[in-house]
Amino acid sequence: MSKYGSFPSARPRRLRGSAVMRRMVAEERLHPADLVLPAFVREGISAPVEIGSMPGVLQHTRDSLRKAAVDAVDAGVSGIMLYGVPEDAKKDAVGSVGTDPDGILQVALREVRAEVGDELLVMSDLCLDEFTDHGHCGVLDAQGRVDNDATLERYAEMAQVQADAGAHVVGASGMMDGQIGVVRDALDQIDREDVAILAYTAKYASALYGPFREAVASSLRGDRKTYQQDPANVRESLRELALDLAEGADLVMVKPAGPYLDILARVADASDVPVAAYQISGEYAMIEAAAEKGWIDRDRAIMESLLGIKRAGASVILTYWATEAARRL
């Protein structure tokens, strides 16, 4: 007894007193196998091009992309998500190069799959935005609106072409109603029941996609608020989850990750399939920019941000730091 009263008998600090104690009692642990590397491959360049708003992230040549895939394998990363960046002259209103077997994304899929085989999950972005001259994720109608059902026809063809090119997983990212069911049926029709579907279940109309649009040389006019989710809404995400699960999604995803950890936790609680989260370009850029200014400890901030996503319920994390973080882990 002191003059201030009894000291506490319960002392949680006992479990924080040393690095080895903290490690032993850690409730969540990051592992390299949790991580997937998003990567961009650009047509018509002879050397990799650094993305100005994403220091350290490249628009790859086909050769440098293969090396990045091998580096990811060596670090223990589970997957690589590929985005194709075609020459501007090849873009058109329906994103034809996205379904051309000789389009940049399909060529890259074949080459990366040949390089890494089954040592790395080769994933492909199943969306039209990189390939359309208007930059939207679907086909436009006569009034300039995204036509949901006409877009689904294009997604079905994309899924088949990407599967033929070697994708283990197709990432259905366009937020069209019914896209998972249509893609699953399209894959099954060509006897590709083995190809998994990662549903971008809760993809929000975020202000943090700006650096990504530089990365894919986006031609976007207007915005995507009529098909991506409103940041104000939660119940809508759970409805999207129920629909994607009913249509046959093998994995589901929340995007962005950091600003939507509450959504991620709700989706993880409700999902009976693995849940992914995408730490998007703006999240990456903010940490890199603050670190460059000397305002934060870069390495600690990276690992803390990833651990927060894992703690909220993600079993798979797409992050541009995947290979770097895996090596550190």
Q: 178: which strand partners?
A: none
Which two tokens mark 4?
Answer: 């201030």
Say if residue 256 is preceded by a cis peptide, omega within 30 of 0: yes
- Which positions are catalytic? 203, 255
pLDDT of residue 82: 98
CA distance 243 to 228: 15
Contacts of 190 (CB under 8 A, 6+ apart): 160, 163, 164
If DSSP codes are grouped into helix, strand and coil, which group holds residue 78?
A: coil
Task: Please say whether the beta carbons of 100 and 55 come within 8 A.
Answer: no
Structure pTM? 0.94
Low-confidence ranges of the chain (pLDDT < 50): none
Task: Please say whether the beta carbons of 283 and 306 come within 8 A.
Answer: no
CA distance 169 to 25: 35
Closest CA to 80 of 127, 126, 125, 121: 121
β 58-60/251-255 pair status:
unpaired
Which two tokens mark 290?
Answer: 């603050």
Which two tokens mark 325?
Answer: 């973080």
Closest CA to 15 of 25, 5, 1: 25
pLDDT of residue 2: 66
Task: Please say whether the beta carbons of 183 and 127 come within 8 A.
Answer: no
Structural domains in the chain, sorted by start: 29-328 (3.20.20.70)
At 16-75, the pLDDT tens digits run 999 999 999 999 999 999 999 999 999 999 999 999 999 999 999 999 999 999 999 999
CA distance 99 to 156: 10
